[in-house]
Structure 1
Amino acid sequence: MTQARKLGQWAETEAVKIAHEAGYTLVQANYHSRYGEIDLIVQKDQDLVFIEVKARSQTHYAQASETVSLSKQRKLMQTALIFLQQSPQYNACYCRFDVICFDFYQHFAKSIQYDFSKCPYDQQWIENAFTFEQEFITL
């Protein structure tokens, strides 16, 4: 498994913990459709939140929050619509798209095993990072 993949898995596990501490319940992790994947789907009361988790080492090119492109946002929205079609019990929920980011201050060598939780990083939860476009909903 690549170091980037290990970092991504660690970040998703940490994001679940953060969401749980904020009172959210995990509905599904790594939901796939033909359009792509949603890392986490969580719920709190009537809020259903689709979360993209991003982790980056060495942020001098771009921070994790800056790597969710417009194309990626559209794929997430399409995947969320598929999820909602397949899960009608969530149709009355208010849906939003959040991003949970982890920006590390160091580069990780490929051959070394890291305990990422012991490495310095910034964590940010961006609520309503993006929204459905009006014309998109009618598709």
Structure 2
Amino acid sequence: MKETPSAGKWGEELAVSFLSEKGYIIDERNWHSGRDGEIDIIARDGPIIVFIEVKTRFSEKYGQPVQAVGISKQRQIGRLAKKYLYLKNLYGKADCRFDVVSIKFTGGKKLMEHIEDAFRINPR
């Protein structure tokens, strides 16, 4: 299930609030480089740069939100993260991590899960 733009933006707002409460510093939102896609949130967890994908779902019909972050999406985020690090002159100088924030609304309840180090990217 493709999340609607309004659901995606709403989920990102919730994720930013949630991460800020956990002490993350939000550096970028909806960061993109040309037509290569975007990274929902780029934040710092202490000295670590964290690239965060947010998935919001209102139904389990098409699976759990985190299941929407498949291998092709992971590769896309990895390519964008590399560009970001190069542009900020941080490539090879900063530790980074890839997280997913999953937001699911079922039965009138909001279930939010933050998966730290959700996937790894081959540096090649």
TM-score (structure 2 length as normaliser): 0.90
Partner Cα distance (2:106, 2:118) in 1: 23
Classify the secondary structure of the residue corresponding to 2:75.
helix
- 18 and 91 in structure 1: CA distance in 2 versus 1, 3 angstrom threshold: farther
More helix by share: 1
Identical columns (%): 36
Which of 109, 112, 124 is 1:120 aligned to?
Answer: 109
Asked if structure 2 preserves the Cα contact closer than 8 Å seen for 1:59 and 1:104, the reply is no
Name the larger-Rg structure: 1
In 2, Cα distance between equivalents of 1:89 and 1:60 = 40
Aligned-partner SS, 1:15: helix
What is the TM-score when the length of structure 1 is the normalising length? 0.80
Match of 2:16 in 1: 16
CA–CA distance in 1 between the matches of 2:91 and 2:44?
9
What is the match of residue 101 of structure 1? 102
Q: Deviations over 1:28-65 (max 9, x none)?
A: 00010242110000012211100000001111320101
8 Å contact 2:48–2:94 — kept in the other structure?
yes
1:110 matched to which residue of 2? none
Instruction: Summarize deviations over 1:49-98 as a string: whole Å, max 9, x none.
Output: 00000001111320101111100000000000000000015753210000
Structure 2 match to 1:113 = none
Contact 2:74 2:121 in 1 (8 A): no
Which whole-Å CA distance do the structure 2 matches of 1:90 and 1:16 have between them? Answer: 25
Match in the other structure for 2:120: 131
Unaligned runs of 5+ in 1: 107-118
State the 4+ residue runs in structure 1 displaced beyond 6 angstroms.
none
Q: Contact 1:48 / 1:90 at 8 angstroms: preserved in 2? A: no
Specify whether residues 90 and 44 from structure 1 end up closer, same or farther in structure 2 by C-alpha distance, changes over 3 A only: farther
Aligned 8 A contact 1:56 1:104 in 2: yes
Letter in 1 for 2:84: F
Deviation at 1:123, TM superposition (A): 0.7
Equivalent residues, number: 121
- Which amino acid is 1:56 matched to? R
1:68 aligns with 2:62: no
